[in-house]
Structure 1
């Protein structure tokens, strides 16, 4: 059954027929399903959509297996209960609580339980990624299924919780064009932060930075471990050079130190955390600051205002 309320289109289906369940799931990816145990089978799918963006809740009472084509959209899968295992044709595997379904390759998948699926328009993701990084839209690419870290996965879940429960659930809010755009933009920006992609570490403006491989490796390590207590020595090891050489390379090619870049990344993650958080859940600016390594809340607030033109409290209370 499909029900439309203004901008939000809601769709709910239930079935005890495995073949019918397969047909409903073809909206996410074309796939050939393996045998399904019919006894006790039940399938429920509920989606809320705004244009090409949707958040869906899928429940399976039995395990399913499939050989799937690349997804047409960017689809992030969260395991709220149960399990998912995906292996793409390149040999990459994922069995985490947050998985980006491969839109770059065929893949084999097994899943069961309760999943939440967030669907985004890849053309819009590429457009936003290009604006943020300076890359051309065709050069905005994802090719890895798992988030940068467990912390990034948790951040994605909080972000989708916010959009799902606090925005999409309310038709009066989604009737406002600016809020519809905000909901989509938050998810797109979150995907570009959470899942490894070509925009991470790209220099805004589209200029060739001329950064050597050692600096790019260091930046990639910082991007992937920004939620951890990492040291310059660990970053230098990842870059395959000594700490003093790394410091010199960063100053020469980026005009900053590795720790300054780390603070910049953490500030960006804190910003997205504040956007996704709900103060009604007891989240405070101090909590977010501490979560991202800022021990002094006052200095964090001053640096945040300089970076984003408002206080972190204003962002949290939006």
Structure 2
């Protein structure tokens, strides 16, 4: 990251590389930029600026990555500008801010965003974005149906549930390093005169991107699947321990309790979990407890008497601070952030607003 907070992209590419050195579309005329954006997005986006004479430049370069449209955008408007995005129920819109800042508003949700952050927004209602000045960003227009198909393939019946990322989420890029580096690879390839990501390679890169988004950004599927899918049929003692953990996760149990439930040695239990579940018994217990806590936090608006500490204790954690650390690592957000998102989701009826 650059010292100013903007992303120093040149450090990731070849010497002297500029992210917009080969723009696909460039204009210094505000009216042409306005017309281009509206027509190229088929009416999805509208551009407006407070002072036409202070508009300097618009450039963009777009390419399909599988079914997803990827666009690198640079807008230089000294007095800022506004983008309005119309509703599209199938659209999941992801932006990575490389330079600049903005205020996003959808229904009554207002979120401030700055450089070195990723924004994921649902497009179920009109969204207004007010930008404070010159900006550089990378945008992904993704299909909700494609993400739901992927979830169904990887999670079975659980993946058939409706996918919901909430209205707007803002994630620091440093919190999702794997996702960020994959996006950066796509970005670098977008600038090449002869891109590598075409045909099957583009499809594969898109699938990885969708997988990482489902895993990295909190959504309605987070924490619903079993902690680790089985590699093959596990022996009876592994299944016994799994059942024991699910039945007693809220209690203060330890490895000795698991060994007694299994009826075999501690070594056999440990090796069984490593071989057939690619985890350890205690890690499995922690995952179950975190999933229980997440479901309780998502239901918190209907049970406001239970604070985060109470939920942590109820789900088997003795140390609330350790719970908060484990929770943030697992779900990429704090327990309080989960509760706030749940409250906003219950309080805002975006579907009615869009109608």
Bucket of the pairwise TM-score, normalised by the shorter protein:
0.5 to 0.7
Q: How many aligned residue pairs are there?
A: 231
Query: Does the C-alpha gap of structure 1 residues 264 and 57 become closer, same or farther in structure 2, counting only changes over 3 Å?
Result: closer
Does the 8 Å contact 2:86/2:127 carry over to 1? yes
Query: Does the C-alpha gap of structure 1 residues 171 and 218 become closer, same or farther in structure 2, counting only changes over 3 Å?
Result: farther
Instruction: List aligned pairs for 1:100-249, cutoff 5 A.
Output: 100-111=120-131, 112-133=134-155, 134-137=157-160, 139-147=162-170, 151-165=174-188, 169=192, 171=194, 173-175=196-198, 177=200, 179-203=201-225, 216=291, 218-219=293-294, 238=308, 240-241=310-311, 243=313, 245-247=314-316
Tell me how far apart the structure 2 counterparts of residues 18 and 217 of structure 1 sit (CA, whole Å): 52
Instruction: List aligned pairs for 1:44-59, cutoff 5 A.
Output: 44-59=59-74
Give CA deviations for 1:131-175 in whole Å, capped at 9, x if unaligned: 333335461122242245654355433220022325884857434
Tell me how far apart the structure 2 counterparts of residues 168 and 184 of structure 1 sit (CA, whole Å): 17
Tell me how far apart the structure 2 counterparts of residues 144 and 74 of structure 1 sit (CA, whole Å): 10
1:176 to partner: Cα distance: 5.2
The structure whose Rg is larger is 2
Does the 8 Å contact 1:45/1:57 carry over to 2? yes
Does the 8 Å contact 1:129/1:137 carry over to 2? yes
Q: Which runs of 5+ in 2 are unaligned?
A: 1-21, 230-245, 251-288, 298-305, 318-322, 333-355
* 2:51 equivalent in structure 1: 37
Q: Which runs of 5+ in 1 are unaligned?
A: 1-9, 223-235, 249-257, 269-318
Does the 8 Å contact 1:82/1:114 carry over to 2? yes
Q: 1:15 aligns with which of 27, 34, 41?
A: 27
TM score, norm. by length of structure 1: 0.58
Does the 8 Å contact 1:147/1:195 carry over to 2? no
TM score, norm. by length of structure 2: 0.53
Query: RMSD in angstroms over aligned alpha carbons?
Result: 4.1
* 1:227 equivalent in structure 2: none
Does the 8 Å contact 2:94/2:141 carry over to 1? yes
